Amino acid sequence: MKKEIEEEVGVALEGVVTEARGASYLVSASDGKNYRCRTIAGTQTENIDASLVSVGDRVRFKESGESGEAHPQGVITHVGKRFSSLERKRDVRRNRSKEKKQVIASNIELLVIVVAAFEPPLSTRLIDRYLVFAESENLPVVIVVNKMDLDDDDEIPALMAPYTLLGYTVILVSVRQKRGLEELDQLLSGKVSAMSGHSGVGKSSIINVLTGQKRMKTARTSYKNGKGVHTTSNAVMLPLISGGYLIDTPGIREFSLSGISREQLRFYFREFLQFMPECSYSSCSHTVEPGCRVRGAVEEGLVDPDRYESYLVLYDGLESEQ
């Protein structure tokens, strides 16, 4: 079968999948062209029990010679090993069978969390939730606070200071005032990043600046109305002016913490780690146990009380392993 493919089609090419639409994939190839590719029964993969192809995948393919489309056509012969993947979280109760992991995007190097200073108001609870997700996926993360022009009382820098102290990169941005965008651009340059954030925080506005393109807002709007789902539920990888790619997908925006247990949560608050070994109980949940060093650290001002409050809120919302 494999031999047959090799004989039928042209030279082997390599590329990155930048768009997935049904069974059709747009591949940005090393020869500088874009190819519209499909898979075949003989397509090989190094990723077991997961979607065959996703945006961000590095693939080998061959030109198939079919014409009549906007792009030259190709056949994907091999999907490279993913070093990271974002999966669509499913309802555990409805997924008892051994279903394949649904991969939204692969090989992401950086997660960009976007929040707004105002409109909608900044919620540290939400930021902590995003950070837990990023830590659980082992993804480097940057927090972008957009709409800084609306921070009239200059409250945001103080609110964000604890995150900088924890080692997270925080970039204060205003698309309106063209502030902070160069710093963000430099950080994303040459990398594959995925952007996430609630509706209205200014993701499209930021993407437009960094890609130099006008990204259509209509697709997202219609998503909310339940229309045009096929265009919005797919990830798209947009080339950045300064090199690298930004992955934009509603699937990542609405990610959930459903795969995380109460027992795992404590490891995703990085400031707890140094205190946890000193808790009286080795399995301490840092909620009610006597002799809890994490709570001690909160009382002594060594751990930010607002971050600890986020831990309690998230803990309440998660299920126990037992």
Ligand X SMILES: Nc1nc2c(ncn2[C@@H]2O[C@H](COP(=O)(O)OP(=O)(O)OP(=O)(O)O)[C@@H](O)[C@H]2O)c(=O)[nH]1
Interaction site with Zn ion (CB under 5 A): 279, 284, 286, 292, 294
Beta bridge partners of 44: 78
Site for ligand X in 105-164 (CB under 6 A): 146-147, 149-150
Q: What's the closest the beta carbon of residue 223 comes to ligand X, in angstroms?
A: 9
- The residue count for binding ligand X (CB under 6 A) is 17
Using the rule CB under 6 A, is 293 a contact of ligand X? Answer: no
Q: Label residue 311 exposed, middle or buried (CB < 10 Å: 0-12, 13-18, 19+).
A: buried
Binding partner at 284 among Zn ion, ligand X, none, C-beta below 5 to 8 Å by kind: Zn ion
Locate 183 and state its tokens: 């710093």
Adjacent-strand bridge partners of 55: 105
Q: Is 279 annotated as a binding residue?
A: yes
Smallest gap, in angstroms, from Cβ of residue 179 to ligand X? 8
Count the neighbouring beta carbons within 10 Å of the beta carbon of residue 260: 20
Nearer to Zn ion (CB atom), residue 166 or residue 276: 276
Residues from 77 through 96 that contact ligand X (CB under 6 A): none
Query: Which one of ligand X, Zn ion, none is in contact with 292 (Cβ closer than 5 to 8 A by kind)?
Result: Zn ion
In angstroms, give the least distance from the CB of 294 to ligand X.
35
Q: What are the φ and ψ backbone dihedral angles of 141, each rounded to 5 degrees?
A: -140, 145
Query: How many Å from the N-terminal Cα to the C-terminal Cα in the chain?
Result: 48
Residue 149 labelled as part of a binding site? yes
Identity at 52, one-letter amino acid code: L
φ, ψ for residue 136, nearest 5 deg = -70, -30
175 touches ligand X by CB under 6 A:
yes
Is 217 a residue that touches ligand X (CB under 6 A)?
A: yes
Quick one: which of 266, 264, 270, 292 has its CA closest to 279? 292
CB 291 within 8 A of CB 234: no
Q: Name the residues that contact ligand X, by CB under 6 A.
A: 146-147, 149-150, 174-176, 197, 199-205, 217, 220
Binding site as annotated, residues for Zn(2+): 279, 284, 286, 292
